[in-house]
Amino acid sequence: MISVHPQYIKDNNGKNSYVILPAKEFDTLLQNMEELEDIRLYDKAKKEDDGQRIPMEEAFRMIEAKRNSKKQ
């Protein structure tokens, strides 16, 4: 578990408005968030997987056709 050491900046009403973190902690939080997003996307893809597969050659043809249609 990451240990964070936030510092809060209050607004004129005395409420916490901003948070300051050491750069290393912030970078670690960003990396963890990106990893969680990857996990969520993987879980979603697995849940929606219907078992249908496309041969690699066909997938490349589809990608190339899409690229060519965007160039025009």
pLDDT digits (tens, 9 = 90+) for 21-64: 999 999 999 999 999 999 999 999 999 999 999 999 999 999 99
pLDDT of residue 71: 76
Confidence check: pLDDT of 72 > 80: no
Contacting residues for 11 by C-beta, under 8 A, at least 6 apart? 17
Length of the chain, please?
72
